[in-house]
Amino acid sequence: MWLSSSIRQLTVVGFLLVVIPLTAALISTVFQVDKLAAQMQEAVRDSAQAVEASRLIATQALSMERSAGQYGVLRDPILFERYQTQREQLTEAIARLLALLPLQTDVINQINKLSQREEALYDQLEKWSSIPGHDAQKLGPEFKLADIVNPIPRLVTEWIVNDSKSINSQVEDVQRMLLWQAIALTPLALILAGVFSVLITRPLRNLGKAIRCLGAGELTTPVQVSGPRDVRELGEQLDWMRQRLAELEQQKLIFLQHVSHELKTPLTAIREGTGLLHDKVVGSLNEEQTEVVKILHKSSLMLQAQVEGLLSFNLAMAEDRPDQLQVVDLAGMTHDAIEKHQLTMRPRHISVEKDIHYVEVPGEYRQLRTVLDNLLSNAIKYSPDAAEIQIKLGMEDNMACLDVIDQGAGIDFKDRQQVFEPFFQGKQVSRGPIKGTGLGLAIAQRYVYLHNGSIQVLHSDRGTHIRVCLPLTGEKDAQ
């Protein structure tokens, strides 16, 4: 079918379907206007000729009546010849006028009367010419031509006026036809344009949606794009790329998992060895050796944090949905998380301003606790000393919403989406004792996604503002 053609072919077909009726209407309009213009030109020409012919008929008829009257008195053959000549001219003028006039008009009737009376007058003149003598004769009223010829110019004018009205009526008919064409074709063209616009843009929108899903890391849903052939082929290529990305993602996870486990064993040995040295189990240490042991111990803690972060990230990425769903008290979980981090906040004199309401959500306790720990840990790491962290928990639009706001340097607008990518490190300087892995927010985003929720960075004038929203099952004010 033509719907399975390429976008170019579909565009050409749509353009033709829109242009063809408009072109047909334009051709019809040009034809009607040309026809009307020709009729108007013909009417003007016929009107001028009819007026001239009627004027000539009236002049010739009056001259013939005068010549006939003079012949009746004088009986001069020259006058009779003049009458005959005038009679021929009258006949020609009548013929020209009759050729211009339609049938069954008052002008034709009047001309017929004129022809009949002139024929009677000519017969009378022939009788006079055949009778010898010069007795003067006057024409009777039955031979007068003036009373018949005088109405002819007026009747011709009336015919011209009626013909003009007929042309005006045709002009109005053409105008109405053009108006109805415009009324009918304009919506048709718009509908066709709209239909083909949808046929062309909808597959492109689906293609853009599929690309955005790939960019967001959604690699489980196959890319299926319907529409023109070239768009479907592009969709197939995107699905191939999705499969390749999924394979690479799986290989990356396997690699990280393998590296994490491989690092964990020697790391344990390093920590145990530094512990033995620190406890002087193998002998006393001088001051420089003690300093080296402290550095080793601190480095082992940082490496342990990195390994645990990798393990947690692998675990988060491997899970497709929360296990063992239960009703989770987010308010109690938030209080517990704040209490857990008190030892980290107290030396730096960081306080927490709480606005927490009782909210319950269906979820997996361990995953939601990890989300809270990671958000609070990030806020503490990037907050200056003696700062205040705001934590709000409540309900908005049938969602449980948790807001964590610190007073750090904040996150640049261009980095707001990247902060949820694995291993991303922003420009902010961490003030915590151990450098972060760049996996905390990525893990939090994964667990929130598994709970059909959302996590985003909001604009804040005082630092970083992160909001998590989860589907809600029940809420009431905390006592």
Query: Please, which pLDDT band fits residue 474 given cuts at 50, 70 and 90?
Result: very low
The answer on pLDDT for 311 being more than 70 is no
* Domains contained in the chain, CATH given: 2-186 (1.20.120), 229-316 (1.10.287), 321-476 (3.30.565.10)
Using only the alpha carbons of the chain, give its radius of gyration: 53
Tell me, what's the pLDDT at 426?
62
Q: What's the Cα-to-Cα distance from 141 to each of 112, 118, 149, 446, 452, rounded to whole Å?
A: 18, 12, 14, 120, 114
Query: Please, which pLDDT band fits residue 476 given cuts at 50, 70 and 90?
Result: very low
Nearest to 153 by CA among 107, 93, 100: 107
The answer on pLDDT for 433 being more than 60 is no
Residue with tokens 């039955």: 142
Which amino acid belongs to residue 389? Answer: I
Residues 6+ apart with CB under 8 A from 132: none
The two tokens of residue 410 are 């904040």
E-assigned strand segments in 373-449: 388-396, 399-405
Residue 416 to residue 424: CA distance in whole angstroms: 11
Residues 6+ apart with CB under 8 A from 111: 57, 94, 97, 98, 152
The mean pLDDT value for 290-309 works out to 74
At residue 79's C-alpha, the angle toward residues 75 and 83, to 5°, is 125
The two tokens of residue 210 are 């599929």
Residue 434 to residue 381: CA distance in whole angstroms: 9
Residue 21 to residue 360: CA distance in whole angstroms: 63
Residue 199 to residue 11: CA distance in whole angstroms: 9
At residue 454's C-alpha, the angle toward residues 450 and 457, to 5°, is 135
Cβ 167 vs Cβ 39: under 8 Å: yes
Which amino acid belongs to residue 86? Answer: Q
The answer on pLDDT for 83 being more than 60 is yes
Q: Which segment of 141-155, 156-170, 294-308 scores lowest on mean pLDDT?
A: 294-308
The mean pLDDT value for 5-32 works out to 78
The answer on pLDDT for 477 being more than 50 is no
Q: Which backbone phi and psi does 326 adopt, to 5 degrees?
A: -150, 170
